Amino acid sequence: MSILFHRHSAAAPGPPSPADAWLDSLAVGAPVSAATAVTVTEFGRHALIVDGVEARLRISKRLELLSYLSSRPGHAADRPRTLEALFARDNRLSLAAELARGCQSLLMDADLAHTYRLAGRARLAAIEAVLARNEGDYLPDRTSQWVEERRRALSRQAADALSSAADLALQLHQYGDAVRLCEQATAIDPFREVAWRIWMRAANALGDDDGVLTAFQGCETALAQIDATPSSSTRKLLKQLQR
């Protein structure tokens, strides 16, 4: 069954908003317009917006459930796995396609996948644009275990994209951009040694000897937090760049 979201009419007096009307149509299984613009903002702020109007949901867990289902394979999950089963008639809950299309984290997944079809400066610009549209913590006001897991997965995805963009910037001789992107990548994942090495190479290309050493020491400090040290390839790179 598809997840449906009822509005709480007693808590929202006055004529129904476009969001209310759209939600009511979904709730009774009525056809909805394909032109309806649905967005589920998930980074920095969590909200369901229909045609520019924020939907008013009676239970905030319903919004969390929406994002939970969007993060599952096939946008569906067994009922015991969900925090709240709404309007369930069987043991399977699934997300309405109209809602799945508007989930911000799913759009980011698709947009980042698209960047790998591009090359050169077009790809670099596309990666940065995708990440700029999705700044902020994922579901910042939620603390459920699945949210924490999804948040970590999205952070890894962002760090992957930033490291890839930094490496591309280095290849394009955009050394300042490479350093900036490495700073962002290591801020998310300080144990990502490849990003520190890209940073060292970019600093060297800029003639910034202090920057090379700063990047290496940053890597060293980060890894010390988990009782590790820079790999032999990172140490070898430092010696090469300091000649």
pLDDT tens track for 35-74? 667 788 888 888 888 778 787 765 566 677 777 777 767 7
At residue 31, the pLDDT reads 67
pLDDT tens-digit series, residues 189-212? 999 999 999 999 999 999 999 999
Q: State percent of the chain over pLDDT 90.
A: 52
Domains of the chain: 9-100 (no CATH), 104-241 (1.25.40.10)
SS (H, E, C) 70-108: HCCHHHEEEHHHCCCCCCCCCCEEECCHHHHCCEHHHHH
Contacts of residue 62, defined as CB under 8 A and 6 or more positions apart, other chains included, come to: 3, 5, 84, 86
Residues of the chain with pLDDT under 70: 1-36, 57-62, 72, 75-100
Distance between CA atoms of residues 74 and 23, nearest Å? 22
Contacts of 160 (CB under 8 A, 6+ apart): none
Burial state string for 164-196 with b = 16 or more CB within 10 A and e = fewer than 16: bbbbbbbeeebbebbbbbbebbbebbbebbbbb
pLDDT for res 1:
42
Q: Give residue 94's pLDDT.
A: 59
| pTM across the whole model | 0.71
